[in-house]
Amino acid sequence: MPLHVLDHPLAGHLLAELRDKSTHPERFRLLTESLTTLLVLQATYGIRTRQDMVETPIKPTAVTVLDQPLAVVPVLRAGLGMLQPPLRLFPDVAVGYIGLERHEDTAIARSYYSKLPTLTGRFTLCLDPMLATGGSAAQAISLIKEHGATQIAMVSIVSAPEGVAYLQARHPDVPIVTAALDEGLNSRKYIVPGLGDFGDRLYGTP
Ligand code: PRP
Ligand code: URA
C-alpha cells in the first residue's frame, strides 16, 4: 500500500517548529494538533460517501455526505496528542486505545493496555506520531485487525524508512500517511533527525 508523505508548505512550516528543540510543550501540543488535522484529511480521503439532497435558503441542492463511520485508535502515550482533531472533524467517531511502550535498551514494544470497540465496517485510523522501527505500529495494527477493521490507515508525523519497510512487510494492505520521511535510525533506534522523544516533548517529561 502507498506511503503518502504530506507535501504542503503549511505542513513543512508546522513540522519545522515541531522539530525545533526549543519548542515548549504547550506549543508542541498545538502544532501536533494542527499537523494531525492535515494528516487526517489525507488519510480519510477514501472514506465512503453518498449523495444526498439539502435545501439551502435559495433552493434544493445535491450534496455529498459521509456514509461510513470512523474509528481512531491512538497508541499511548504519544498518540493521545493526535486524538482531538479527528474527534472534532468526524461526527460518528469511535475511539479505541492501545498502550505500548518500547524497552529502553531493545526498542521492542511491550503492550500494557488495550481497549478497542468492534471495528467492523469502520474506517479506522491508527494514530502514533513516531514510526521508528515500526514495531509499535505493526503490533497496534494487528490488534486493530483482530477487532474487525479491514480498512485501516496508519497516521504518523515522522517516519523512518526502516519503520515504513517493516510495517509495509507486515501489513501490506495498510497505507501510511506521514508528514516526513527522515534519514533513518540511530543506535538507540531514535529517528534521525527526528524530533527526539515525542511523548516527553508533548507532556514535558524529562
Ligand atoms: C514511541 C512512539 C511510538 C514508538 C515508535 O513510544 O510514540 O509508539 O515509540 O517506535 P517504534 O516504531 O520503534 O516501535 P514510546 O514507546 O516511547 O512510548 P510513549 O509514547 O509512552 O512515550
Ligand atoms: N519514539 C520517539 O518518541 N522518538 C523516536 O525518535 C523514536 C521513537
Tell me if residue 128 is catalytic.
no
Pocket of ligand 1 (CB under 6 A): 75, 77-78, 100-102, 107, 109, 128-137, 163, 189, 198-199
Q: How far, in Å, from the CA of 132 to the mean position of ligand 1?
A: 8
Q: If you average pLDDT over residues 67-71, what whole number do you get?
A: 97
Tell me if residue 50 is catalytic.
no
pLDDT tens, position by position, 114-163: 999 999 999 999 999 999 999 999 999 999 999 999 999 999 999 999 99
Residue 134 C-alpha cell reads as: 515500526
Q: What is the pTM of this model?
A: 0.97
Tell me if residue 201 is catalytic.
no
> Going by CA atoms, what residue is nearest to atom 1 of ligand 1?
130
pLDDT score, position 148: 98
Q: How far, in Å, from the CA of 107 to the mean position of ligand 1?
A: 9
In the predicted structure, residue 1 carries a pLDDT above the cut 90: no
Mean pLDDT of the residues in the chain: 97
Residue 107 C-alpha cell reads as: 526498542
Residue 42 C-alpha cell reads as: 489525507
Mutate which of 189, 192, 205 for ligand 2? The one with the most ligand atoms within 8 Å of its CB, which is: 189
* Contact (CB, 8 A) for 63 and 54: yes
Residue 74 C-alpha cell reads as: 491512538
Mutate which of 18, 29, 102 for ligand 1? The one with the most ligand atoms within 8 Å of its CB, which is: 102
> Going by CA atoms, what residue is nearest to atom 7 of ligand 2?
190
Q: How far, in Å, from the CA of 67 to the mean position of ligand 1?
A: 33
The single residue of 61, 106, 118, 120 carrying the catalytic annotation is 106
CATH topology assigned to domain 3-48+66-203: Rossmann fold (3.40.50)
The single residue of 23, 29, 77, 197 carrying the catalytic annotation is 197
Task: List the domain boundaries for the chain.
Answer: 3-48+66-203
Confidence class for position 206, pLDDT limits 50, 70, 90: confident
Tell me if residue 200 is catalytic.
yes
* Cα separation, 18 vs 30, whole angstroms: 9
* Ligand nearest to C-alpha 113: 1
pLDDT tens, position by position, 80-115: 999 999 999 998 999 999 999 999 999 999 999 999
Residue 171 C-alpha cell reads as: 501489513
- CB neighbour class for 141 (10 Å; exposed up to 12, middle 13-18, buried from 19): buried
The conformation of residue 172, written as its DSSP 8-state character, comes to: T
Q: Which atom of ligand 1 is nearest to the CA of 102?
A: 16
